[in-house]
Amino acid sequence: MFPVISVMNKSRMMGKLFFKVLFVLLLVSLGPLFIVGYYTLTQSRDIIKEAILNDQRALASGLTDMVYTYVITFRDVLTDTSRQPEFQTSNYAGHQAALNRLMQTHAAFFEVAETDEVGRETMRVARFSKMTSAPLRNFSKEPFFTALMSNGDFLGPLERFGGYPMVTLAVRLHNRSGKPSGALIARLSLNTVSSILKTGFPETSKSEAAVIAPNGFLVAHSDMETAFKPDARLSPEVARILLYNADREGSFETKLQNGVSVLAAYAEVRTLGWLVYVQQPAAVADKASSAMVFKSARAFTILIFFVLFLGYTVSYIIVAPIRKLREAAFLLGEGRFEEIPELYVSNDEIGDLARAFSQMSDSLRVKTAELIFAKEEMEKLNTSLESRVEARTRELKAALDELIKKERLAAIGQMASVVGHEIRNPLAVINNSAYFIKTKLAAGGGEVDPKVTKHIGIIEAEIQQANGIINEILGFARTRDLMLTHSALNNYMADLLESYPFPAHIAIVKDFEPENLWVNIDAEEIKQAVRNIIGNAVEVMPERGQLTVRTSATADNMAQLSISDSGPGIPPEMVEKIFAPFFTTKARGTGLGLAVVKKAMDRHKGKIEVKSEPGKGTTFNLYIPLCQAPQG
């Protein structure tokens, strides 16, 4: 009886163990699979959609380089044409021949015109008779012509000719002496851009691509009929997203007026400001998602039956490997990949399950790493965008400050002109009256009171002082064209120092570069700037001192002129203010001396730096661009 009872108890225990092992196996194996599978299936469409949007963004970014290269290549062609020897002479037959060659070589040009230096059109070569027969134009009042003569080249605006989109390109012409003599203005066809887009986005692909300007002008489109419409535009819902979005690169999903949802991306063409837009029907993502759901469901169904059969078999054979597998499953569910133990893989169903589990674990580890990497990349992108926004904000603030400064200087100029006129007239009357009084006193024959003579002298000195102040204000407010001359900096400074009336107590030290430095400067303007610095240095050394003048060349192809004094120096809190107009620490003075120096450096495309240490003196460093030494 006892053995029978023992066997029955053992059989009952094995039955309990079977169900326990089977339950645990199903829980550990199928639970995470259902969770991951459900998450994967529910997220499949979003994952596919995001992948498509990433591809769209990359494609849009690549197309921006194509559009930029196309326009800039023809701008360079126009620039090379402007540098041909024919345009440096007044041989207009040679000009005509050069323009004809340009039109024959490059079919993308609709029209090329030449103007004189004030914007009057002198000749035109066009591909269509309608352009050729039009009267000659005058571009002098066009904003783009002013920008062209200032910057050397210009791109824009966009317009249509017979439905064909085109853009205006312009470059400046120079005569043999290097002075501007006119401009070449061309109209470039953008049809080739649409042709390239059509090749990359055929109608059968259901995808589209376009190039749009910030004002909504449709530059190019993969559908040629759409591109050549006189009022060609993108659909309102797409144009609204592109034109009123602060980001110049991105992707989105939207529904068109016809009810079709599309996945789209856009990117900005550098320098041009245009946007390249590509779109693809969202149905592509839906179709791929449905296929993934079907395949995943089928795979999960097969896996469920396999696990049930395997659990039924394994529960009779072994318990320990299942326990380890359950522990590994818990670790996997918690995301603790590095703590998952190495499973024993036997040559049976348990081994197959262990291998399948290991593959699943590796796959989850890879997917998790990819998600973490994507998150880090997104954070980097956000940081980059924030930096760009901050940089643009700083640029706008600097531009606003510069505009306010220019408006303030313009107002100062108008005020100075009025004040100078209104004050000089009374000063002239006072001066004449003082002269008349001196004449009458001298004609009286008697002895003149010394106090009267002293006060008349004071009147004349103050009149000269007032006139000097008026001249200084008017000189700062007025701006004349630079009269540049090719000058050797060492010789120029030697002559300037030789002519300056230095007091006897000032010691002059010259430390010039052994080889002469050649610069293009307005001799009078630079002379006034240097004399202002020297004058300030002499004033801060009333009893004795040393003035050191050095010339040298910098690594960035600039000539450096340094003027150092041994005076008391400038307090650190005033260094940032000394170049501001009308800022002065003197009892008398206009505060325009260093403002004139700063203005002169800006006009010569140079810069000025000041280094000062209280008690040890001040050094002003003037930087002027170097030029080639004259030949012969």
Asked if residue 622 lies in contact with residue 549, where contact means CB atoms within 8 angstroms, the answer is no
The region, left, alpha or beta by phi > 0 then psi within -120 to 50, assigned to residue 75 is alpha
User: Quick one: pLDDT at residue 79?
Assistant: 92
Peptide bond just before 202 cis, omega within 30 deg? no
Asked if residue 451 lies in contact with residue 488, where contact means CB atoms within 8 angstroms, the answer is no
How many whole angstroms separate alpha carbon 207 and alpha carbon 149? 43
CATH code where residue 578 lies:
3.30.565.10
- Whether 589 maps to a domain, the answer reads yes
- Whether 531 maps to a domain, the answer reads yes
**Burial bucket for residue 84 (CB in 10 Å: 0-12, 13-18, 19+):** middle
Q: Which residues of the chain have pLDDT under 50?
A: 1-15, 587
- Whether 630 maps to a domain, the answer reads no
Residues of the domain holding 496: 484-625
Question: SS3 for 204-240, per residue?
Answer: HHCCEEEEECCCCCEEEECCHHHHCCCCCCCCHHHHH
- Neighbour count for residue 121 (Cβ, 10 Å): 18
Alpha carbon separation from 132 to 127, 137, 169 (Å, rounded) = 8, 12, 18
Q: Return the ∠ at Cα 411 (arms to 405 and 415), rounded to 5°.
A: 140
Asked if residue 153 lies in contact with residue 172, where contact means CB atoms within 8 angstroms, the answer is yes
User: Quick one: pLDDT at residue 436?
Assistant: 75
- Whether 613 maps to a domain, the answer reads yes
CATH code where residue 98 lies:
3.30.450.20
Joined together, the tokens standing for residue 85 give: 């020897």
Among residues 131, 159, 188, the one where a domain terminates is 188
506-511 and 545-553 beta bridge pairing: parallel
- Whether 303 maps to a domain, the answer reads no
Asked if residue 280 lies in contact with residue 92, where contact means CB atoms within 8 angstroms, the answer is no
User: Quick one: pLDDT at residue 585?
Assistant: 61
Closest C-alpha to 203, from 190, 222, 220, 225: 222
User: Quick one: pLDDT at residue 69?
Assistant: 93
How many whole angstroms separate alpha carbon 493 and alpha carbon 560? 12
User: Quick one: pLDDT at residue 12?
Assistant: 38
- Whether 20 maps to a domain, the answer reads no
Among residues 188, 221, 256, the one where a domain terminates is 188
- Whether 577 maps to a domain, the answer reads yes
pTM: 0.44
- Whether 557 maps to a domain, the answer reads yes
Number of domains the chain is built from: 2
How many whole angstroms separate alpha carbon 181 and alpha carbon 67? 31
Among residues 123, 153, 188, the one where a domain terminates is 188
Question: What is the Cα Rg of the chain in Å?
Answer: 41
